[in-house]
Chain A
Amino acid sequence: MLLLAALGCSTEVLLADEGNFTLIADLTIPVFETAAAADVGICWDELVSDLQCQDMDAAVEVDNVQLLRFPYKTQEEVEVGIEVDSLQQADMSGYVEVQPPDGDTCSSLGAMDFRGTPVDVTQEYTADGGTYMLSFATGTELGKGTRMLAFLTPSASSDVMAVDVPTGCGTLEVDVDLSSLTPTPVKKRAGSWLVDWREVTTDSQGNELRLADLDTVTMAAYTGVTAADLEADFFDLESLADSVWRAEVASGTQVELTEMVTDDGAAFEGFDADLYVLAFFCSSCTNPAPLYLTVLEP
């Protein structure tokens, strides 16, 4: 065995649906009723943690604030659409955005535009316009890097002209089951491990999986931590880990574990911790939770 490892023996790790965890996401986006057709002020200095309860510095980590309008979706339908990543571009009838400079934690609807084209808030922010949702993101690409969400409800009877967005922790609740999955066996001693997910068909919420959505892979190693601990503290998957290795998947359905690296650039060398979790994320999906997550069993 040692000889095989020394010779760089490669082994394939084939992922399957039964190896995936299950997740139930429940999003409860805070709602703010405001005056309609008005230049409502928005502040986010209270945003000290994001949707996944991760600490954030609102003054520097909010790069883009967007207002999206869904003319024919209720707030509940938008929440469900985000949870299961089913919203389409056609569901939205427009968005405006503002990119605040570092240090700023306040702006207003009137400061937003569509890629440089000004939008008349008094015409577009109306009581009968549908569902309006604010998105606070790190990065400026639509649909990516969302840290917090809030609904605005313009009302003719409201005179509220300012909104203070609260902290994000508690907005997204997840019910996670790691104990029912079938751990994915891997050879403990090998020169390399080529992981392939070509046979995975469903995501963690039981929906049909588009393989190309799995564009980011994270592997975490734990000592003295059980799967039950991770279920209970799911948003802290990374902070509980001894080491975390990452890889971007540009195309295809394979990743070589020895090519995954930590944030410090250290490559994965082998299995020696108590527990290993391999998680696949979709950077363009509205729900930030992993689409596939399995426990590796060396």
Chain B
Amino acid sequence: MPWSLLFACTPGGLGSVTATVSDDIVTVVTVDWTTDEEVDSYVRYGVDLEHQTPVSNGTEHTVPLLGLTGSTELSYQVVIDGDEPVEGPVESVTTGDLPNDLPAFTTDGGSAGAYMSVPVVGGVTAPVILTPEGEVTWYWFDERGLDVYRAFPSGDGTGVYYNAASVSGDPSEASELVHVTWDGGTETTIEVPLLAHDFVEHADGTLGMIVVEYREGEDGEEVKGDQILEIAPDGTQTVVWSAWDCYDPAVHEGDDSGWTFANALDWDEDEQVYYISFRSQSTITKVNRETGACVWAAGESGDIELDEEYEHQHQFQVLESSLLVFDNDGAGNATSRVMEYSLDVEGGEFQEIWSYQSDPPVYSFVLGDVNRFDGGDTLVTWSVAGQIERVGSGDDPEVQFKLNGALGDAFAFNTVLDSLYR
């Protein structure tokens, strides 16, 4: 019996269903379908129908199937939700062949434990999302001649944000925030001159980012600092904080990279605070978004001391009772490491409680990221070394998963995602 006849007498009956492989991003399949009535429906999909899209409501439905890999035949099935779900026919579609320009990665171990949204820099410049197994599931080639440091799915679920910028040497006047829809069909940009390494998205869609700021010093020299700029969903731009709010170039000296050289940014929605890392000051600072006050600062220029100092650190994670830091140079001898400190703000000192170096040691002289999973494992992105590891806890943590790029293929910051749907 044809499905159209079967559903003709079904409330919220299923009409035509089509699946289209994107020409621009061949791992994304868009499924369109109609229903007779406004109903909740979704798509089950995957090699074994193991994935599911978010629920779509209405009579005309369009959803992208995400998390797929190239050259893969998969099944998909539209399901009308309800007390007695109605399942459409199981159809099949095959994703396209990945572009040969995408780098290849070698992996050891089963899974990173999460999707990884991690721009590739080096041979090509491309925001990329990897499956937990390390295969490319989303990509976009950026041809601006700039670098890409951070990429993550936008909160509205329509695609991916990334920053196209330059942080080596002078920042770029042509830097932009870019949004690309999942299927690559639409790219929109927001011009943000002097954009730096990192940016975040608030729950309401506001984007917060590091932007280089120049001011004249006491002796008339140019001082290269940073500010936090916010762009509201309506496009309004507001500087919410400047490095000069908490630091003084005459007191806190910089280095050849610039006075502060802010290089990493995190956002705590509950507390409404930013955390910002300064390479040149080897300091991480907690900033109250509303007041612009520096709540605490840990490191060389801060009020909180470290019993084992990090140096030129990049990304970090503030946990409930500890601070996890990617420490580029603190170990010396061209070796990078991960440091974890007790978060004892009242005591005025953060003490080392855990550290990790890869074996053999690797060096990421810039960038680098670290993420702690709920179960205690840590995902370390040795960016310039083109290596990602998931390691356990303890003094001699076991490497659960390891991914390496070929010579010439490095990574920027890594946004860890349980799901690609927001």
Residues of A within 8 A of B (CB): 69, 71-72, 85, 87-94, 113-118, 124, 129, 141-144, 210, 212-215, 249-253, 284, 286
Contacts and interface: CB of A to CB of B under 8 A. Distances in A.
8 contacts: A88-B406, A88-B407, A116-B169, A117-B168, A124-B334, A143-B123, A251-B99, A251-B100
Given A71-B363, A88-B404, A116 B170 contact: yes
Given A142-B122, A251-B96, A251-B99, A89 B104 contact: no
Contacts of B207: none
B99 A143 contact: no
Interface string B358-378: 101111011000000000000
A72 B97 CA distance: 36
Given A117-B257, A251-B98, A91 B407 contact: yes
B386 A90 contact: yes
A88 B123 contact: no
A215 B100 contact: yes
Contacts of A113: 169
A103 B384 CA distance: 32
B135 interface: no
Interface string B99-125: 111111010000000000000001100
Given A116-B168, A141-B123, A71 B334 contact: yes
B256 interface: yes
A93 B334 CA distance: 7
Interface in B147-184: 147, 166, 168-170
Contact of B123 (A124, A210, A284): A284
B168 A286 contact: no
A212 B102 contact: yes
Contacts of A129: 334
Interface string B33-74: 000000000000000000000000000000000000000000
Contacts of A253: 97
Nearest to A94: B365
A93 B104 contact: no
Contact of B101 (A92, A115, A250, A286): A250
Contacts of B98: 212, 251
Contact of A90 (B166, B256, B404): B404
B410 to A, nearest CB: 6
Contacts of B166: 116
B334 A212 contact: no
Contacts of B102: 212
Contact of B385 (A85, A89, A118, A215): A89
Interface in B299-342: 334
Contacts of B360: 71-72
Nearest to A215: B100
Contacts of B358: 90
Contacts of A93: 334, 362-363, 365, 385
A210 B334 contact: no
Q: Which of B97, B386, B405 has the most chain A CB within a 10 Å cutoff?
A: B97
Contact of A284 (B257, B365, B406): B406
Contacts of B405: 88-90
Contacts of B384: 89, 94
B313 to A, nearest CB: 16
A89 B404 contact: yes
B11 interface: no
A206 to B, nearest CB: 18
A102 to B, nearest CB: 20
Give 6 nearest A-B pairs by CB, closest first. A116-B169, A89-B386, A143-B408, A115-B168, A93-B363, A116-B168
A117 B255 CA distance: 12
Nearest to A249: B100
A124 B256 CA distance: 16
A117 B407 contact: no
A114 B334 CA distance: 15
A250 B99 CA distance: 6
Nearest to B166: A116
Q: Which of B98, B103, B106, B385 has the most chain A CB within a 10 Å cutoff?
A: B385
B407 A87 contact: yes
A117 to B, nearest CB: 5
A35 to B, nearest CB: 20
